[in-house]
Amino acid sequence: MRKKVGTSAIDASRRRKLIAGALLRPTLTVFALGSAYFLLPWPDAHTGGAFALLIFGGIAVLGVTAWQVKRILDSDVPALQAVEMASVVVPTYLLVVAMTYFAVERADPASFTEPLSRMAALYFSLTVFSTVGFGDIAAQTDLARALVSLQIVCNLVLIGFGVRFVVAAVSWSKQHRTQQEVTDEASE
């Protein structure tokens, strides 16, 4: 196990590298995911495909979240890692929801009050997530309404439990690191 270093002991050069990495990794990840969302071809849509997309996308978001939580727990700077986590998980989640809305609309063009382009689907998922709800796009079919309702519930879970869980992980990591430093100093 590598020795963890307290935040106060990190020199300016290492701090700059950590911050640069915490900015660069999420930026590149979101750029790659966004590029894939907008540029990759879409197969023919059907309702079953939309559900499969939602399920596998949800599993992917949970996987990314679990990986990021592990990184927080193992990090020398857990608070910075938590910011990086939010910068990756939230856009990934919004893209998965947008992909689902887009697939549902392609399977049934009457699902929403207007046709959804990829940008419109992303815009709609963001307005639902932020609870802005301009009203320019609305769900019209039971399936679309069910998906929007599911997104609202997932939003509450992500924001409520997610934030609480990440704060607890950061706190645990800091406490564990401090205990490890005390133990290391006592053994020297």
DSSP 156-183: HHIIIIIHHHHHHHHHHHHHHHHHHHHH
Residues 138 and 23: their CA atoms lie apart, in Å, by: 34
What pLDDT shows up at residue 64? 86
Q: Which residues contact 29 (CB under 8 A, 6 or more apart)?
A: 88, 91, 92
CA angle (62 as vertex; 56, 65 as ends), nearest 5: 145
| Ramachandran assignment for 135, one of left (phi > 0), alpha (psi -120 to 50 degrees), beta (any other) | left
What pLDDT shows up at residue 155? 92
112 strand-pairing partners = 139
Nearest to 131 by CA among 160, 114, 147, 151: 151
Q: What distance separates the 2 farthest-apart alpha carbons in the chain?
A: 70
What pLDDT shows up at residue 2? 43
Q: What is the pTM of this model?
A: 0.79
What pLDDT shows up at residue 83? 84
What pLDDT shows up at residue 9? 61
Per-residue pLDDT of the chain (188 residues; tens, 9 = 90+): 444 444 456 778 888 888 888 889 889 999 999 999 999 887 666 667 777 777 888 898 888 888 888 888 888 788 888 888 888 889 999 999 999 999 899 889 999 999 999 999 999 999 999 988 888 999 999 999 999 999 999 999 888 887 787 778 778 777 877 777 667 666 76
What pLDDT shows up at residue 7? 47
Element of type H or E holding 36: helix 12-39
Round to the nearest angstrom and report the end-to-end CA distance of the chain: 17
8 A C-beta contact, residue 91 and residue 61: no
DSSP H helix total and E strand total for the chain: 6, 0
What pLDDT shows up at residue 184? 67
What pLDDT shows up at residue 1? 42
Residues 11 and 1: their CA atoms lie apart, in Å, by: 21
Location of structure tokens 């439990």? 161
Q: Which domains does the chain have, with CATH numbers?
A: 18-27+42-178 (1.10.287.70)
